[in-house]
Amino acid sequence: MTTSLSKLQELYKQQGFLSALAVLNETELKEAKHAFSKLERKFGTEYTQYSLHNVHLQYPWVMDLTKHPQILQVVEAILGPNIILLDSRFICKYPALKPDGSVGEEGLPYVAWHQDMRYWGIDGGPVLSVWLALDDSLKENGALLVIPGSHCDGMLPHRQAICPGNMLSVNQEIPEELVQVDEAVLCPLLAGQMSIHDGLLVHASDANRSQKRRCGFVIRYVPTSAYPTEDPNRPRKFHAATLACGTDHFNHFSNKTT
């Protein structure tokens, strides 16, 4: 491990996230955006907003993104050499303001304050989430917001979201009175960069109030020591688990592909 990666490892341990890490070069980014535009034309933007889930099993170019050397180099520095790709999803916030600048009754799509581990029935190791930007992700189009160090506070209570427009599939949120909102840090990314965060880090993102799309590819990784739990409150199934790198001596994910 290089000194630079060692420093990233220590910083990640302290604050629970890293941001603005370079991944895709200009050619790779152009190819990924072109491939994604084909999916937009095929399925429509209402679908591609949130429903392209685990399509790394269908499209080789998506699987290639999950195993990109620049991503795995950082993930291995945090989780070790033996890693399971747990899950992936494209998330797009399209421009949603009406021509007159008003907002419909359904509200603008946003992501409420939450912890990823609230949805993942996983034990035996941490979950690490990658957010890879296909578009510039900035304040005006709803970039990621994080609460540094909140991954050390354990699991917080979640409830049904109060405001309409929450993109989380189970519509949950951490009550804002439990979130140190004044400590929130924005994680802007240029297209081709990534951020990573711990599964217990409290994070959110505001609505896209610009005329620019904000598309990102979210990838979840765990060490091979991790295993699914029987938790009725976190009933996530892991049908898309794949060995990302290294060797799996545990075989906790029985339907895992290689």
Is the pTM value of this prediction over 0.85? yes
**pLDDT at res. 5:** 85
Mean pLDDT across the stretch 194-205? 98
Q: Is the dihedral of CA 32, 33, 39, 45 positive or negative?
A: positive
To the nearest whole number, what is the mean pLDDT of the chain? Answer: 92
The pLDDT tens digits for 129-152 are 999 999 999 999 999 999 999 999
Can you give the three-state secondary structure of 75-97, one letter per residue?
Answer: HHHHHCCCEEEEEEEEEEECCCC
Beta strands in the chain (DSSP E): 17-22, 83-93, 111-114, 122-123, 128-133, 144-146, 159-160, 172-173, 185-187, 193-198, 203-205, 214-223, 227-228, 242-245
17-245 sits in which CATH class? mainly beta
Given a cut of 50, is residue 105 above it in pLDDT? no
Give 98's contacts (C-beta < 8 A, 6+ positions apart).
104
The pLDDT tens digits for 13-67 are 999 999 999 999 999 999 999 999 999 999 999 999 999 999 999 999 999 999 9
Domain residues of the chain, as ranges?
17-245
Quote the percentage of the chain above a pLDDT of 90. Answer: 79
The pLDDT tens digits for 218-249 are 999 999 999 998 776 665 678 889 999 999 99
What distance in Å separates the CA atoms of residue 118 and residue 155, rounded to the nearest whole number? 7
What distance in Å separates the CA atoms of residue 34 and residue 117, rounded to the nearest whole number? 32
Q: Which of 217, 243, 236 is nearest to 62 (CA)?
A: 217
Given a cut of 60, is residue 102 above it in pLDDT? no
User: Residue 207, CB half-sphere, CA atoms under 13 Å: how many?
Assistant: 14
**pLDDT at res. 114:** 96
**pLDDT at res. 1:** 46
